[in-house]
């Protein structure tokens, strides 16, 4: 298959969508991003890559970091993790407080903010230096030693993150956070502030595409079964309140972030990452979703 030609075709086909939507601005530092960037990186099992546009420009991965946090937490805690959070789609926004109240402080899934705050809490309890461990882990799986936090973005989110602070308080009230709220919010916003390029993300996500192998990194050991589970949660919960739509249009397990990135995989075949900052009303990248829809349609390579 001529993947490069397919990516180039797709780029032409999505150009009419350029200019639709706008970048996230509720985190002040994210509002400064140039909205009209677009990059895509496809990586096959043999390591060959196909790229287009700003595939090597780093951007704020935001909620895509929740997949890495889940990988670490699931590996450290095993089954016990599911006592503290569910695995069902939320059907409400990623920062919903209402649902968490109704459900007595048990987040619906690890990919809404409440769930990821619990993941941060687990890392703080289990790791000596969670901040260092988290970034080292991403550097390792992306094979990019210079990947880093953007502390200015983290500070910017922390100083305006009233809703996340409310969620953390509610979790603490229900005893689903063991450590101090400030410490948990600090690690959470740092995780979200990590900057990676599409090329680095597609490399990192290969560990979820290699579902036929055991994946190990230091203290992080992912069994085949855990890879299966993480992919299942990406499929059902990876796109905020639009996971059904993404499944319907694209048909791949994946995760998006409000920085405009989306990373997705096809088990045993490829991983793909796309970035375009303009978001739809649900918080997903408009051109990114369209590009992936066209990719799985034109290649006939969706899991369905």
Q: Which residue, 115 or 251, is less far from ligand GLU as judged by CB?
A: 115
* Residue of the chain from 192, 198, 250, 294 that contacts ligand GLU (CB under 6 A): 192
**Of how many residues is the chain composed?**
304
Q: How far is the CB of 288 from ligand GLU (least distance, A)?
A: 13
Query: Per rule CB under 6 A, is residue 95 in the interface with ligand GLU?
Result: yes
Query: Per rule CB under 6 A, is residue 202 in the interface with ligand GLU?
Result: no
Give, in order, the Cα–Cα distances in Å from 245 to each of 13, 114, 198, 282, 289.
20, 22, 22, 11, 10
Q: How far is the CB of 46 from ligand GLU (least distance, A)?
A: 31
Contact by Cβ (8 Å): 272, 42: yes
Beta strands in the chain (DSSP E): 39-44, 49-53, 59-60, 195-196, 215-217, 220-222, 254-256, 261-266, 270-275
**Please, which of residues 53-82 interact with ligand GLU by CB under 6 A?**
62-63
Q: Which residue, 147 or 187, is less far from ligand GLU as judged by CB?
A: 187
Query: Per rule CB under 6 A, is residue 276 in the interface with ligand GLU?
Result: no
Query: Per rule CB under 6 A, is residue 94 in the interface with ligand GLU?
Result: yes
Query: Per rule CB under 6 A, is residue 164 in the interface with ligand GLU?
Result: yes
Query: Per rule CB under 6 A, is residue 258 in the interface with ligand GLU?
Result: yes
Tell me how far apart the alpha carbons of residues 206 and 44 are, in angstroms, rounded to a whole number: 8
DSSP string, 123-162: HHHH-SSHHHHHHHHHHHHHT-TT-B--HHHHHHHHHH-H
Residues that bind ligand GLU (CB under 6 A): 62-63, 94-95, 113, 157, 164, 192, 257-258, 283
């Amino acid at each position: 298959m001529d993947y490069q030609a397919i990516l180039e075709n797709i780029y032409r086909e999505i150009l009419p969508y350029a200019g639709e939507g706008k970048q996230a601005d509720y985190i002040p530092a994210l509002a400064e991003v140039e909205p009209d960037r677009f990059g895509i990186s496809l990586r096959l099992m043999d390591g060959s890559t196909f790229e287009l546009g700003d595939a090597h420009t780093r951007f704020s991965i935001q909620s895509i970091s929740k997949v890495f946090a889940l990988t670490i937490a699931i590996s450290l805690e095993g089954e016990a993790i599911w006592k503290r959070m569910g695995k069902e789609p939320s059907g409400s926004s990623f920062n919903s407080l209402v649902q968490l109240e109704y459900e007595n402080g048990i987040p619906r899934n690890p990919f809404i903010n409440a769930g990821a705050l619990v993941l941060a809490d687990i890392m703080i309890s289990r790791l000596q230096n969670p901040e260092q461990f988290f970034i080292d882990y991403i550097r390792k799986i992306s094979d990019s030693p210079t990947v880093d936090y953007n502390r200015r973005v983290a500070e910017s989110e922390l100083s305006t993150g009233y809703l996340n602070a409310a969620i953390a308080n509610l979790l603490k009230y229900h005893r689903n956070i063991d450590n101090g709220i400030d410490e948990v919010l600090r690690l959470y916003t740092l995780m979200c502030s990590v900057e990676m390029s599409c090329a680095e993300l597609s490399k990192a996500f290969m560990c979820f595409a290699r579902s036929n192998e055991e994946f190990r990194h230091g203290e992080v050991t992912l069994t085949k079964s855990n890879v299966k589970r993480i992919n299942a949660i990406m499929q059902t919960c990876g796109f905020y309140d639009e996971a059904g739509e993404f499944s319907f249009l694209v048909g791949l397990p994946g995760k998006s972030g409000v920085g405009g990135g989306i990373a997705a995989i096809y088990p045993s075949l490829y991983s793909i990452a796309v970035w375009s900052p303009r978001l739809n009303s649900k918080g997903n990248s408009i051109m990114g979703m369209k590009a992936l829809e066209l990719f799985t349609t034109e290649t006939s390579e969706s899991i369905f």
